[in-house]
């Protein structure tokens, strides 16, 4: 099953979401040649904290979640608000991770978990489309968006636990970022943000 999108139409082009997807891809290619601690250490630390991923599976998982959920969160918060949410969740994830693994710059997981948390508070009953590439059959099924977030989290844990000394810290990053995103929307008033946009 391959996640494709959610069922909620957007009212505007997801410019920031697309820019963040491109930036995460660019950072993944750029960071190996500019690791934190080198001549461009400060820049590399900042890029790693906002956009870094340790491997391809982790990158693909995160970008799927960012693409599926970021579009509607950006639509509700506006471009500047969405960018601030992403950066804020990344900062919270980085701070929480530093308590577990000092000296290791956090990746984008906290930011993207924050986007997922914000989406679920905004649209708690939304559904996502999963593509089923069956032999001789092309079909898609709808599942609760919350189910997709749980699966993303579990697969991410399985991937990151294969990286010695990093798995536990990634769990903290994800949890902190998720709570930051969900908490931000709850404090801002999810019902007010959702009004006139989506009914279900």
Residue 50 CA to residue 44 CA, distance in Å, equals: 10
- Chain-wide mean pLDDT for the chain? 82
Percentage, residues of the chain above pLDDT 70: 78
Does residue 68 or residue 188 have the better pLDDT? Answer: 68
Question: So what's the pLDDT on residue 134?
Answer: 67
pTM (2 d.p.): 0.87
Residue 24 CA to residue 50 CA, distance in Å, equals: 8
- The CATH H-level (homologous superfamily) assignment of domain 2-194 is Rhomboid-like (1.20.1540.10)
**Segment of 130-134, 142-146, 156-160 carrying the highest mean pLDDT:** 142-146
The pLDDT tens digits for 31-56 are 777 666 555 566 777 777 788 877 78
> Domain locations in the chain?
2-194
Q: At what angle do helices 145-160 and 109-122 cross, to 10 degrees?
A: 160
Residue 134 CA to residue 183 CA, distance in Å, equals: 39
DSSP code per residue over 144-177: EHHHHHHHHHHHHHHHHTTSTTTHHHHHHHHHHH
Residue 117 CA to residue 177 CA, distance in Å, equals: 8
Q: What is the mean pLDDT of residues 76-104?
A: 87
The pLDDT tens digits for 57-67 are 888 889 999 99
**pLDDT surpassing 50 at residue 177:** yes
Bin 196: left if φ > 0, else alpha if -120 < ψ < 50, else beta. Answer: left
């Amino acid at each position: 099953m391959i996640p494709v999108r959610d069922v909620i139409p957007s009212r505007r082009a997801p410019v920031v979401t697309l820019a963040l997807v491109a930036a995460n891809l660019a950072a993944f290619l750029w960071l190996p040649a500019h690791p934190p601690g080198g001549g461009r250490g400060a820049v590399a630390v900042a890029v790693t904290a906002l956009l870094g991923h340790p491997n391809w599976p982790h990158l693909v998982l995160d970008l799927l979640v960012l693409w599926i959920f970021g579009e509607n969160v950006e639509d509700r918060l506006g471009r500047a608000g969405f960018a601030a949410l992403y950066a804020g969740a990344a900062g919270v994830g980085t701070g929480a991770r530093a308590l577990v693994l000092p000296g290791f710059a956090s990746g984008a997981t906290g930011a993207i978990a924050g986007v997922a948390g914000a989406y679920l508070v905004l649209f708690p009953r939304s559904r996502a489309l999963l593509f089923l590439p069956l032999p001789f059959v092309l079909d898609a099924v709808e599942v609760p968006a919350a189910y997709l977030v749980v699966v993303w989290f579990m697969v991410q844990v399985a991937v990151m636990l294969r990286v010695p000394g990093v798995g536990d810290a990634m769990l903290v990053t994800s949890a902190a970022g998720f709570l930051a995103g969900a908490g931000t929307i709850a404090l801002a008033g999810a019902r007010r943000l959702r009004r006139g946009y989506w009914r279900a």
